[in-house]
C-alpha cells in the first residue's frame, strides 16, 4: 500500500495517461491483497472516502491544480479514471467470496450443527399408506401401472365397448395426434386405476389379491372438490370361490380398521361397466357419528344423512375375465370382487380440509399442519 497520488508537473496527454495507468495498477494490486471483510472496508475507504480518499486527492491534485489550458484535457482523463476505479472498487463486492473460500480454514467446531427442517408426510400420501396397509395385513400385495394408458386397458378390457355411453361419464384427457392409430391403441391419461387389474391378470395367474394406488386424470376444472389429477386406490381379489359375502366382509373389516370399530357399513346398488352386481359402500359418518348433527349445527360432510359414501365396488363382470381367459381366468371357474376409492376425498374428510386445492398447491404453511 505504498501508492500515493503524485503531484503532476507535466499535463501532456502522455503524462496523464501514464499517471492514470499507475493509479489503476495500484488499485488492482491492492484489491488482489484483500482477504477479509475488514481488508475490504479499508480498501474501499482508502480509494473512495470523500474526505482524502485517493479519488478525492486525484481530483484535487490533477484537476484543480492543472493550468487553465490543460483543464479540459485533464478533466476528461480524470473522469475516465474515476469511472474505472469506481468500477474496480464496486466489483470488489464479489471478492468478498474470498472470505467464504477461506472460511473452512476457520471452522469453529464448538458451534452447533446445521438443523435441517424435518418434512411431513403429505396427507394424501399418509391416507394412501394407511389404506394400503390395512389391505396388506389381509394378504394383499401392491400393484402399479402406467399413467399414460391405451384405450384398450382403460376402457375396452374393462367392458366399456367403443361408443358405449359409460365412456362419457369419465371426462377423459386424450393424448393428441393419435387419430391414425386403431382406437384400442390410442393413448390417454388413465381415468381410473382399474387398467392395472387387467395388466396384473395378464401377468399373474389366479388367485390374485392386489391393491393399486396411483394418480388418475380427468378433464375436471379445479375447484373445492375436483382436480384434473387425483388419487385412487383400487382393489381386486380373484379366486375359485369368491362371493359377494367375501366382498362385504372384507370391506366391512377395512372400513372399521380405517375409521374406527364403531362405524357401520351399508351397501347400495349401483352400476359400473366392469362389475356386476355393483354397489356403493357407505359408512356411518365418522365426523358426527351417524347423527347428522354436530351439536346444534347440521353435519355438512354427510349432508345430515349420517352416512358417507366411500367407495364403489362389485363382483368382477365375467366379460372382464373374458379378456384374460387364456391366463387361467375362465369366468366359469373363477370369481372375484373389485373396489375403488378416491383417496383425496377421504383425506379431505379425515383431516377436515374444506378445499381439495390445498393438497396440490405445495404451500408449506398448509402442509406443516400435518407434521
Ligand atoms: Zn355427519
Q: In this model, does residue 190 exceed pLDDT 70?
A: yes
Q: In this model, does residue 296 exceed pLDDT 60?
A: yes
Distance from Cα 227 to the centre of ligand 1, integer Å = 24
3-state secondary structure of 322: helix
The reported pLDDT for the residue numbered 202 is 94
Query: Which pLDDT tens digit goes with each residue over 155-170?
Result: 999 988 877 776 777 7
Q: How many CB atoms lie within 10 A of CB 23?
A: 22
Distance from Cα 90 to the centre of ligand 1, integer Å = 67
Residue 162 and residue 183 in contact, taking contact as beta carbons nearer than 8 Å: yes
Distance from Cα 85 to the centre of ligand 1, integer Å = 75
Angle formed at CA 307 by CA 301 and CA 313, multiple of 5 degrees:
110
Q: Check residues 289 and 193 and name the one with the higher pLDDT.
A: 193
The reported pLDDT for the residue numbered 97 is 55
Rounded Cα gap, residues 30 and 28, in angstroms = 5
3-state secondary structure of 331: coil
Distance from Cα 307 to the centre of ligand 1, integer Å = 7
Q: For residue 231, name the pLDDT band (cuts at 50, 70, 90).
A: very high
Rounded Cα gap, residues 239 and 140, in angstroms = 13
CA atoms within 13 A on the CB side of 235: 27
Distance from Cα 362 to the centre of ligand 1, integer Å = 29
Distance from Cα 298 to the centre of ligand 1, integer Å = 8
Mean pLDDT, residues 295-301 taken together: 86
Q: In this model, does residue 183 exceed pLDDT 80?
A: yes
Distance from Cα 289 to the centre of ligand 1, integer Å = 6
Distance from Cα 343 to the centre of ligand 1, integer Å = 19
Distance from Cα 341 to the centre of ligand 1, integer Å = 19
Residue 277 and residue 315 in contact, taking contact as beta carbons nearer than 8 Å: yes
Distance from Cα 208 to the centre of ligand 1, integer Å = 36
Beta bridge partners of 150: 187
The pTM of this model reads 0.67
Q: For residue 242, name the pLDDT band (cuts at 50, 70, 90).
A: very high
Q: In the chain, pLDDT over 90 holds for what percent of residues?
A: 46
First-to-last C-alpha distance (Å) of the chain: 58
Distance from Cα 300 to the centre of ligand 1, integer Å = 6
Distance from Cα 284 to the centre of ligand 1, integer Å = 8
The grid coordinates of residue 240 equal 375359485
Q: Among the listed ranges 196-205, 243-252, 343-352, which one has the minimum average pLDDT value? A: 343-352
Distance from Cα 217 to the centre of ligand 1, integer Å = 29
Query: Which pLDDT tens digit goes with each residue over 75-122?
Result: 888 888 888 888 888 877 654 455 566 666 677 788 888 888 777 889
Rounded Cα gap, residues 307 and 62, in angstroms = 92
Distance from Cα 308 to the centre of ligand 1, integer Å = 7
Distance from Cα 351 to the centre of ligand 1, integer Å = 14
Rounded Cα gap, residues 88 and 32, in angstroms = 11
Query: Which pLDDT tens digit goes with each residue over 266-277?
Result: 999 999 999 999
Q: For residue 123, name the pLDDT band (cuts at 50, 70, 90).
A: very high
Mean pLDDT, residues 136-145 taken together: 95
Distance from Cα 286 to the centre of ligand 1, integer Å = 7
Query: Which pLDDT tens digit goes with each residue over 306-356?
Result: 999 999 999 999 999 999 999 999 999 999 999 999 999 999 888 888 889
Q: Where are the beta strands (DSSP E) in 43-196?
A: 141-142, 148-150, 187-189
Output the CA torsion sign for 325, 147, 312, 167: negative
Mean pLDDT, the chain, whole residue set: 88
Amino acid at each position: 500500500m505504498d501508492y500515493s497520488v503524485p503531484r503532476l508537473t507535466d499535463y501532456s496527454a502522455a503524462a496523464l495517461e501514464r499517471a492514470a495507468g499507475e493509479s489503476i495498477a495500484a488499485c488492482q494490486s491492492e484489491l488482489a491483497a484483500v482477504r477479509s471483510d475488514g481488508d475490504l472496508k479499508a480498501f474501499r475507504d482508502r480509494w473512495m472516502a470523500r474526505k482524502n480518499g485517493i479519488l478525492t486527492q486525484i481530483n484535487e491534485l490533477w484537476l484543480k491544480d492543472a493550468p487553465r489550458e490543460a483543464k479540459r484535457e485533464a478533466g476528461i482523463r480524470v473522469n475516465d479514471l474515476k469511472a474505472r476505479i469506481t468500477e474496480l472498487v464496486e466489483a470488489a463486492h464479489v471478492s468478498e467470496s474470498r472470505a467464504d473460500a477461506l472460511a473452512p480454514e476457520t471452522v469453529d467446531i464448538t458451534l452447533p450443527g446445521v438443523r435441517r427442517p424435518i418434512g411431513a408426510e403429505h396427507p394424501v400420501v399418509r391416507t394412501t399408506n394407511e389404506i394400503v396397509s390395512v389391505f396388506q395385513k389381509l394378504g394383499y400385495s401392491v400393484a402399479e401401472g402406467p399413467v399414460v394408458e391405451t384405450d384398450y386397458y382403460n376402457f375396452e378390457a374393462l367392458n366399456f365397448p367403443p361408443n358405449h355411453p359409460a365412456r362419457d361419464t369419465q371426462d377423459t384427457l386424450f393424448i393428441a395426434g393419435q387419430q391414425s392409430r386403431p382406437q384400442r391403441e390410442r393413448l390417454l391419461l388413465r381415468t381410473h386405476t382399474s387398467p392395472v387389474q387387467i395388466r396384473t391378470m395378464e401377468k399373474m395367474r389366479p388367485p390374485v389379491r392386489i391393491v393399486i394406488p396411483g394418480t388418475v386424470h380427468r378433464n375436471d376444472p379445479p375447484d373445492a372438490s375436483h382436480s384434473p389429477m387425483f388419487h385412487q386406490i383400487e382393489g381386486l381379489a380373484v379366486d375359485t370361490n369368491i362371493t359377494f359375502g367375501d366382498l362385504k366382509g372384507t370391506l366391512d373389516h377395512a372400513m372399521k380398521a380405517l375409521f374406527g370399530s364403531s362405524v357401520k357399513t351399508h351397501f347400495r346398488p349401483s352400476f359400473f361397466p366392469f362389475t356386476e352386481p355393483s354397489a356403493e359402500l357407505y359408512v356411518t359418518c365418522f365426523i358426527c357419528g351417524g347423527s347428522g348433527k354436530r351439536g346444534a349445527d347440521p353435519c355438512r360432510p354427510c349432508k345430515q344423512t349420517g352416512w358417507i359414501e366411500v367407495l364403489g365396488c362389485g363382483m368382477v363382470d365375467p366379460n372382464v375375465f373374458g379378456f384374460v381367459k387364456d391366463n387361467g381366468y375362465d369366468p366359469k371357474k373363477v370369481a372375484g370382487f373389485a373396489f375403488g376409492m378416491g383417496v383425496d376425498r377421504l383425506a379431505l374428510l379425515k383431516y377436515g380440509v374444506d378445499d381439495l386445492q390445498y393438497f396440490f398447491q405445495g404451500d408449506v404453511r398448509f402442509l406443516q399442519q400435518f407434521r
